[in-house]
Every structure is written in structure tokens, then in C-alpha cells.
């Protein structure tokens, strides 16, 4: 049996994210752009302010993953996040090999803070949540979705908290 090629995998990833949003009755806009490898590049590619681009951060706490979303303009404050979650000192950024191994249906660096293939977001930074719309990765490096951050909170039951450096 032949394995699907890169183009088919990309379509499958994006289709899964879009299908998840449609199933949750979330209004969204799918945006195709040049390949990007960071949320900062994503902001430039679609001419969005970095404050309106969501950066999904995958963290590892023992055996469990934690998903946080902050703006591309901000840096995560791990101490604040630990306090909000009541997490241990073992909470750390997940490595690329861990993400590749445990999230095989998404491209590393393109994981959205929601969807059928990822644990639901647990924390969304308060500054990101105040935006009218945010741009999120859609599973690959050439697609994003524009979505109301309140919808992310609704479909993931994420907490909204200040988790970024000042």
C-alpha cells in the first residue's frame, strides 16, 4: 500500500482542522500563504499584526502535555504558567522530536490550539483573548485560520490568564 505524499498529508491536516471547526460550528476563514516556520513569519506572510497571530506552545509536564496560546508578539513566562496551572517544576517546553512523535498528524511548528488531533488548549493569554480575531496555524506551514479567540475558549474550555512576560 502506498503512503500518501506530502501534498495529500497537508490536505488531510487542513481538512481535519477545518472539519473540526465546522463540526463545532465555529466561524472561520481559511488563509493560504507562503510556507512559514514561525508565528512571526506567519504574521508577515499574511500582513497581520503579531499581536493578532496565535502562537501555540506545547509543553510537557511528566506524562501529560499542556497547550498554551499566546500572541506572536509575546514571550511565555513559564513561572506564571506554572502558577496558573498549579504545575510542577517539571513543566517544560516539549522538544521537536516529542512533538513529531506524539502529534504525527500535524507539522511541527504548525499545531493549532484546538482540533481533533491535539489536546485542547488549557491556557490562552489574556492579551490574545482580547483580540477580535486571531490567526492560528491550521496543521501545516502554508495554511492558517482566522478565528475569534472567544470561540477557541468556548470549544476548548481553556482558561484565560496572564501568562506572558511583561
| Predicted model pTM | 0.90
Tell whether 1 is covered by a domain. Answer: no
pLDDT(2) > 80: no
How many CB atoms sit inside 10 A of residue 147's CB?
23
Q: Residue 22 sits in which domain range?
A: 6-161
Tell whether 70 is covered by a domain. Answer: yes
Q: Could you tell me which residues are beta bridge partners of residue 13?
A: none
pLDDT (tens digit per residue) in 63-114 = 789 999 999 999 999 999 999 999 888 999 999 999 999 988 889 999 999 9
Check which CATH number belongs to the domain holding 62 and give it. 3.90.960.10
| Three-class DSSP category at 108 | coil
Count: domains in the chain: 1
Tell whether 59 is covered by a domain. Answer: yes
Tell whether 166 is covered by a domain. Answer: no
Amino acid at each position: 500500500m502506498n503512503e500518501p505524499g506530502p501534498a495529500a498529508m497537508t490536505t488531510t491536516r487542513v481538512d481535519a482542522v477545518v472539519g473540526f471547526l465546522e463540526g463545532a460550528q465555529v466561524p472561520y476563514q481559511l488563509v493560504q500563504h507562503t510556507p512559514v516556520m514561525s508565528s512571526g513569519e506567519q504574521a508577515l506572510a499574511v500582513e497581520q499584526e503579531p499581536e493578532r497571530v496565535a502562537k501555540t506552545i506545547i509543553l510537557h509536564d511528566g506524562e501529560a502535555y499542556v497547550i498554551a496560546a499566546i500572541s506572536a508578539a509575546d514571550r511565555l513566562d513559564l513561572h506564571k504558567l506554572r502558577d496558573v496551572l498549579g504545575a510542577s517544576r517539571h513543566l517544560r517546553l516539549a522538544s521537536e522530536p516529542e512533538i513529531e512523535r506524539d502529534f504525527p498528524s500535524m507539522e511541527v511548528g504548525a499545531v493549532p490550539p484546538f482540533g481533533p488531533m491535539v489536546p485542547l488548549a488549557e491556557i490562552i493569554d489574556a492579551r490574545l483573548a482580547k483580540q477580535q480575531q486571531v490567526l492560528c496555524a491550521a496543521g501545516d506551514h502554508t495554511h492558517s485560520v482566522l478565528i475569534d479567540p472567544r470561540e477557541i475558549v468556548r470549544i476548548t474550555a481553556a482558561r484565560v490568564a496572564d501568562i506572558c512576560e511583561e
